[in-house]
Amino acid sequence: MSTRNPYKWLNVVLLIAVLAVNALSVLLPLGGRDTGEISDMYKNLLTPAGYAFSIWSVIYALLIGFVVYAFVAERKRRVSAAAPGPLFAASCVLNMAWLFAWHYLYTGLSVIIMLLLLVTLILAYRRTRLEGERAEIADILFVKVPFSLYLGWISVATIVNISAFLTKHDFGEFGLGHTGWAIVMLGAAVLLAVFIGFRYRDCVYPLVIAWALQAISVEQADASRAVQMTAMWAAVGVAAFAVWMFVRSLVDRD
């Protein structure tokens, strides 16, 4: 793979645009409603506590690191930052599109955009797991970790977004009932955490899932004991798995 990164400047411009649109969604806000207010409109048993969304500040800080590191990596002839190709730029466009769809209450469209964003990030994530090049610490911190964190959160956000859409249109959770649907989706999140974490020896992705599961447990404490306990123990299990993956990654690196 070439070390040249023709998308580095485009990534800078689009990430700035993403940050600007996110700022507008809070300051204006877009559609006259902030993100949390809309989430409350479609509240369901998979809605996490508000503090969970603070993870976006960490995601964006790491993505800034990624776009800056692209210039350093190209000079050092490292292929890591160039690996996502145009996929990061595509994810920025989809991120902004989702914000507009969500804030203007086009929930069906927001689900489609979120699914496209998820697929885009999966493809970008896989590209950052390069074979044949030993990752330096900088590659891990500024390429692998940002995409692990971003993909982990969007994986959970997709589940929550779909649940919000179902709640808005009273689909009945495919006959499972509110509690049954929530528990099935929590199980799906756990399976994702274990599969991706194990497949790519990734401790960050499952840790993000654990963060989201714990936030769901906190938010649903008064709504559903079954969902609260399921989410809490799932969070504990996934967090323990993340620690195990971290130890494994250190062993593999040695």
- 1 within domain boundaries: no
Q: Is residue 227 part of a domain?
A: yes
CA dihedral of 248, 250, 252, 254, whole degrees rounded to 10: -150
Q: Percentage of the chain surpassing pLDDT 90? A: 70
- Say if residues 155 and 189 touch (Cβ distance below 8 Å): yes
* Rounded CA Rg of the chain: 18
Q: What is the pLDDT of residues 103-144, one digit of tens each?
A: 999 999 999 999 999 999 999 999 998 755 567 889 999 999
Asked if residue 249 is part of any domain, the answer here is: yes
In a domain, 199, yes or no: yes
- Of 248, 213, 192, nearest to 49 by C-alpha is 213
Torsion angle defined by CA atoms of residues 247, 249, 251 and 253, in that order, rounded to the nearest 10 degrees: -150
Host domain of residue 141: 8-253
Q: What confidence tier does 79 reach under pLDDT thresholds 50, 70, 90?
A: confident
Number of domains in the chain: 1
- Say which amino acid occupies 142: F
Cβ atoms of residues 14 and 93 within 8 Å:
yes
Determine, yes or no, domain membership for 142. yes
Q: What pLDDT is attached to residue 32?
A: 87
Asked if the structure places residue 234 within a domain, the reply is yes
188 part of a folded domain? yes
In 3D space, the residue among 203, 73, 246 whose CA is nearest the CA of residue 143 turns out to be 73
Q: How many CA atoms lie within 13 A of 222 on its CB side?
A: 2
Task: Report the pLDDT value the prediction gives residue 154, as an integer from 0 to 100.
Answer: 98
Q: Is the pLDDT of residue 70 over 80?
A: yes
pLDDT of res. 38: 83
Q: Is the pLDDT of residue 172 over 70?
A: no
Supply the pLDDT for residue 127.
Answer: 93
Mean pLDDT across 3-25 = 93
Q: Is residue 173 part of a domain?
A: yes
Phi, psi of 131 (to 5 degrees): -100, 145
pLDDT (0 to 100) of residue 34: 80
Whether the pLDDT of residue 2 is over 80: the answer is: no
Handedness of CA 232, 236, 237, 241 (dihedral sign): positive
| pLDDT, tens only, 145-169 | 999 999 999 999 999 999 899 888 8
